[in-house]
Amino acid sequence: MKVSLDWLNSDYVDLSDLSHEQVAEKLTMGAFEVEEVTVHGSDLEGPVVVGEILEIHQHPNADKIRLTRTRVKAGDEPLDIVCGAQNIEVGQIIPVALPGAKVVNRHDGSPLPIKASAIRGVKSNGMLCSAAELGIACDDKFGEGILVLADKDSPKKSGFTLGADARELLQIKPDHIMHVEPRSNRGDALCVAGLAREIAALFNRPLKQPTWNLEQYENKEAKVGTIYSVKLENEEDCPFFSLIPIKGVKVGPSIPEISKRLEAIGVRPVNNVVDITNYVMHELGQPLHAYDAAKLSGSSMGVRRARAGEKLTTLDEKVRELTPEVMLIVDDDTAIGVAGIMGGKDSEISDSTTDIYLEAACFSQAVVRRGSRLLGLSSDASLRFERRVDVASVFHAARRAAYLIAHYCGASGPAQVGKAMMAGSDKVSDVFLTLRLSAVKRLLDIEVTAERVRELLSPLGFKVEAGESGQLKIAVPSFRQADVTREIDLIEEICRLNGYDAIAATMPKGIVCRQAKDDTLVKAQGALVGMGLSEAWCSSLVPASENGINEDYLVQVLNPLSKDHQYLRQSLVPGLVHALAHNLDRGQKKVALFESGRVYFKDWEEPAPDNKSDNRQERSAKLFAKEINRLAAIICQADKQSSEKADFYTMKGVLENLLSGLAISLAADKVNWQAASVPGLHPFRCAALALNRPPKKGSDHSDKVGIFGNPMVLGYVGQIHPSYAHAMGIKEEAFVFEIDLDRIGAERKAAKFSEIANTPSMVRDLTIDFSKEVLEKQNDINHQNIVRLIMRSGSKNLVDVQLVSVYQSEGAAHTYRLTFQNPSETLTGEEVDNLVKEVKSQLTKQLNASFRA
Amino acid sequence: MSTQDLEKNIADLESSALSAIAKADSLENLEQVRLNLLGQKGELTGILRGLSALDKSERPRIGQLANVVKVKIEEAHEARKEALFQSHIDSKLKAEALDVTAPGRIRALGHVHPLSQIREEILSVFYSMGFEVADGPEIESDYYNFDALNTPASHPARDEQDTFYTNLGANVLLRSQTSTVQIRVMEKNPPPLRIVAPGRVYRNEEVNARKYPLFHQVEGLLIDKAVTFGQLKGTLTAFIQALFKKPLKTRFRPDFFPFTEPSAELDSQCPFCNGKGCKTCGGRGWLELLGCGMVDPNVLKGAGIDPEEWSGFAFGMGLERLAMLKYGVNDIRHFYTNDLRFLEQF
């Protein structure tokens, strides 16, 4: 909302001794944030003085420019000033801008600083000013050329003192416009008078009121048009409606006193009558509407809901399709306006209007808001109704506007204001609240007396009465009855008016912290960043076409912003694939990203609970969907020459490293890898990591969906399916993993020390051959099974098995390095040979392995 | 051989041996010299062996003489060996000279997302002040998102134009603020309470440089006996000073939120210009950083806490806003595009 400081100052509260910065600062710190202050009108900087032209000479170097000698102070030597205007004559009194002044560039309105300078080789010590250069050329009455204050022989000439401030003389004073952020709960302050009340209270100054008297223009007998009553469909939609007939109006040009103020706050003047309805709306916060009485034909005007399919052309000449959620103003039954939002085209006043009806009403905040949203139409009026207008003040505003219309817009003499028609009630009952001074002390830690409370609250219209010991009885004014309903609301007002700054900053006592911060995520970030992956944050709102979506458990947004933000994701992988494609498109070669975030599934255990339940424990225990914390990563190396490879085993290594860093045991007796099938991944390059036994806790995370449907699965690793990659424009092989962070968190183990053996260890390399026939026959020959068999058959003295190489030609040859150690005694070569022999025999027996001589 | 000859031989051997040792110019030569003298078939070894043929009376004297020479030779050999070894090391080291200004061989580290970084900084400060980290669902009911937060049924924020609703029921939405966690925590745990809750929130807003349909907040709540507005000021001022590591001034400006009363916007003296006015703060010297206020008695009551016995304050801040200010990021979409050229700057 824009508010003119000049308007406030001349009509409502004397601020003449304060700068606009002081007023803005006070308002900002008093809950009405001033976002900016703009200058309206000329912002001249001095010195601009009254001067007299003593001589005029031709400029030696230019035809159209002349050289004057102008006196700017009685008794002083006249100054040489060059002037290009043609209307100057010796003896004229004119405004002169001296060096250091800032006037207006008449070509573009920008500030024009005046300096002593040479113009075509002749020194000029200032500038003779035109009206435009003084910023007062808003109408043409000053004409072209230099503004002549008095001609040579004018009798007025003696009234001017040379050297006097021309700005003061011409009353050139800029107005400052404060842009105040409207407060959703403070409709009462969305106008000059309301804001003035706040300012008066904040500065502790008296509030003024403009004086006017409607009675002089009232004529109960004045009859206008055909309407003789007003009626309401229901008083919830519209608690109060008033219509004032005004007879003998001449619609004409804007009234300068009115339009000047409207222009200052950015409201376009329309005509004298409409300007007044706008003026009063900005002054008192009450939207008003003037109808041309001749364009209405019913006997009554009223308010009702629109019927489905009903149409109306609004003032902006758009045809509006209406629904029963929209409230209408009707002429008998004919729609003539959308109540509280915008009037209709057909009953608009025009040049030929002579009689009008002036409507002022109070409409339901919720209905106006809903209607405004539905129609996609908001106006200064709807903005105010949405924030609540005070029903008790409606008629006052109507009378104010009627007065101004009668006063300024009469066809011959003042117009006549007829008897108002009203429906509903504008009576508001008193609301009293009790304020305990002890409660102020308890929350704000400040001591206030009853007297202080009265001092603070009275200027805002509250009536403070003494109550029983330490308690005050406070009457809330009608315009604050929506936002001040409890003691705490009064405490807030006291806090605000007394100043937030007046409360000393202290620290709370005691320390409460029941539980240490979970470090799983921070540890994981550290490990992954250490391995060269960067963290991504992807959108959790995804398109329906996203890979791997399970429709049955999908959480859908019913009112999405766009198709791209329609569903909640069920996997982190698609977001990372998008990010990969984005980066490859922009020329990145190596892309390594990870993300930790939630995935969402419709709850398969129970329907959405009724959250209105009164049992807090029960209510807060219930969730509406499964929200599961996952961690996923993607890597891709587009540069084939690079030494940093990125293949399936790179990604698997990153995952294994990460899990080790999180203290998850990857020992064969704890977890296993198994070939897995995951939508969107390569069918033969994907493995799931699963616990060997069901988890003790966290089993409630069983997603039921996809690979995580198995509660033992911690995560998977694999290659993006070539056709998925192709669809995403990714030409390279890309690898991903995704793990369930909640399950991982539950499996993390605290480190535990085991004794370090001092006996020497012995190492044997073992190459195991599998023939082509064996490989074809047996599909259980893989690393994990080989290692497990070796470990099982190598006794407890076999402490480590590492894969050294795999060589594949006709058959396959796996070389493993076996480490033997007995912590309590040194093993002999013979003992180790026997252990290796047993390993070999088991491998031969169970996996049909053979060994070279 | 006569005793005299033998003595002469020993003397000759001493001088020739010392000269040979001195002349040896490599460890290999020196070793050869040593073998020639002291090895199995070495000259001195031969002489020492020949002592047995001497007269018993002469043997000790000559033997001692030969031993003195042997010791001298051995000492000379050791000294020469040490010298040669040192010069060998010196030349080897010299040959190993590196261009120490050449770059290190690294495996590039990844980067933690700026929103993660700022979230951790915020949580760490509050953790040090005794606040626990709490968590809550993003898919919420209108009860937790609005009703319990004292937001009237007619409040514009409830409109579909502002809040996303879901297929899980007419009352189930994507939370538009992390304040929901306040309520869940209060319902589950008795006061006193100190929590901070980071999380993702959603608002139905067109995507542009300043807005995205999802963003992130950190919410805070402190409930105890005799909590005052002054403590709210103190705590949040301490937080701002710890976050920016500067003794910045703060100012609390009255504002309105349904779930706190009195409510305030916290302005911090701009940490980039120390309040002098710069581009970041738009010349104002102040930056609006977070919203806060005393928990509304209706909110406490709804969560089963007696507002006459307990009081508290709550606050909320946007991670994106803080990160944009802190790092000078000019477009919110950078945070979710995951362009490496962006991520690698943090």
**Assigned token pair, A253:** 């040009």
Instruction: Say what the pLDDT of residue A510 is.
Output: 78
Residue numbers in A near B183 (CB within 8 A): 620
Residue numbers in A near B192 (CB within 8 A): 510, 512
Q: Rounded to 10 degrees, what is the CA torsion of A113, A114, A116, A118? A: 80
* Summary count for chain B: helices (H), strands (E): 12, 9
In this complex, do A608 and B172 lie within 8 Å of one another by their Cβ atoms? yes
**Assigned token pair, B296:** 């509304």
What is the C-alpha separation between A150 and A189, in angstroms, rounded? 46
CA contacts within 13 A on the Cβ side of A652: 14
What is the C-alpha separation between A619 and B188, in angstroms, rounded? 10
| pLDDT value at A467 more than 80 | no
Instruction: Say what the pLDDT of residue A138 is.
Output: 47
Picking from B205, B156, B162, the residue whose alpha carbon sits closest to that of residue A386 is: B156
| pLDDT value at A375 more than 60 | yes
Instruction: Say what the pLDDT of residue B195 is.
Output: 95
Least confident of A108-112, A300-304, A310-314: A108-112
Check: CB of residue A310 under 8 Å from CB of residue A322.
yes
Say how many CB pairs under 8 Å bridge A and B. Answer: 257
The secondary structure element, H or E, covering residue A113 is strand A111-113
**Closest-CA residue in chain A for B119?**
A522
Stretch A592-620: mean pLDDT, rounded? 75
Minimal CA separation from A581 to chain B, in Å: 10
Instruction: Say what the pLDDT of residue A131 is.
Output: 81
B-proximal residues of A, 361-390, CB under 8 Å = 365-366, 369, 373, 386
Sign of the CA dihedral with A507 first, then A511, A512, and A517 last: positive
What is the C-alpha separation between A556 and A323, in angstroms, rounded? 27
Residue numbers in A near B311 (CB within 8 A): 442-443
A563 three-class SS: helix
Q: Phi-psi bin for A644: left (phi > 0), alpha (psi -120 to 50), beta?
A: beta
| pLDDT value at A616 more than 80 | no
Of A104-113, A114-123, B1-10, which one has max mean pLDDT? Answer: A114-123
What is the C-alpha separation between A237 and A305, in angstroms, rounded? 9
Could you please report the per-residue DSSP string of A330-353? EETTEEEEETTTEEBSTT---TT-
Helix residue ranges per DSSP H, A341-477: 365-375, 380-386, 394-408, 437-444, 450-457
Stretch A630-637: mean pLDDT, rounded? 97
- Tell me whether A518 touches chain B (CB under 8 Å): yes
A120 three-class SS: coil
What is the C-alpha separation between A405 and B167, in angstroms, rounded? 54
Picking from B324, B199, B223, B315, the residue whose alpha carbon sits closest to that of residue B265 is: B315
Cα–Cα distance list, A488 to A457, A463, A485, B148, B261 (Å):
14, 17, 8, 17, 7
Helix, strand, coil % (nearest 5) of chain B? 45, 20, 35
Residue numbers in B near A531 (CB within 8 A): 107, 110
Q: Which of B115, B129, B151, B168 to mutate to test the interface with A (most CBs of A within 10 A)?
A: B168
**Closest-CA residue in chain B for A488?**
B261
**Assigned token pair, A360:** 């002022």
A329 three-class SS: strand
In this complex, do A611 and B213 lie within 8 Å of one another by their Cβ atoms? no
Average pLDDT, chain A: 90
The secondary structure element, H or E, covering residue A247 is strand A240-247
In this complex, do A501 and B143 lie within 8 Å of one another by their Cβ atoms? no
B-proximal residues of A, 477-516, CB under 8 Å = 486, 488-489, 491-492, 495-496, 500-501, 503-515
In this complex, do B188 and A531 lie within 8 Å of one another by their Cβ atoms? no
Instruction: Say what the pLDDT of residue A505 is.
Output: 95
What is the C-alpha separation between A174 and A178, in angstroms, rounded? 13
Q: How confident is the model over A699-715, as pLDDT tens digits?
A: 554 556 788 888 899 99
Nearest to B204 among A536, A559, A583 (CB): A559
**Closest-CA residue in chain B for A493?**
B262
Of A58-67, A509-518, A828-837, B155-164, which one has max mean pLDDT? Answer: A828-837
Residue numbers in B near A627 (CB within 8 A): 137-139
Instruction: Say what the pLDDT of residue A614 is.
Output: 66
Residue numbers in B near A515 (CB within 8 A): 132
Helix, strand, coil % (nearest 5) of chain A? 30, 25, 45
In this complex, do B229 and A183 lie within 8 Å of one another by their Cβ atoms? no
What is the C-alpha separation between B206 and B213, in angstroms, rounded? 7
**Residue where the block lists tokens 């706050």:** A265
Q: Phi-psi bin for B265: left (phi > 0), alpha (psi -120 to 50), beta?
A: beta
Least confident of A265-269, A347-351, B3-7: B3-7
Split at pLDDT 50, 70, 90, the class of A365 is very high
Task: Specify the pairing of strand A93-97 against strand A48-58.
Answer: antiparallel
Stretch B95-118: mean pLDDT, rounded? 92
Cα–Cα distance list, A82 to A53, A92, A111, A119 (Å):
11, 15, 20, 7
What is the C-alpha separation between A643 and B193, in angstroms, rounded? 53
Minimal CA separation from A184 to chain B, in Å: 8
Instruction: Say what the pLDDT of residue A611 is.
Output: 55
Check: CB of residue A552 under 8 Å from CB of residue A602.
yes
Minimal CA separation from A371 to chain B, in Å: 12
What is the C-alpha separation between A769 and A775, in angstroms, rounded? 10
| pLDDT value at A839 more than 50 | yes
| pLDDT value at A698 more than 80 | no
Check: CB of residue A64 under 8 Å from CB of residue A178.
no
Stretch B229-255: mean pLDDT, rounded? 95
Minimal CA separation from B130 to chain A, in Å: 5
Picking from A52, A173, A45, the residue whose alpha carbon sits closest to that of residue A104 is: A45
Residue numbers in A near B268 (CB within 8 A): none
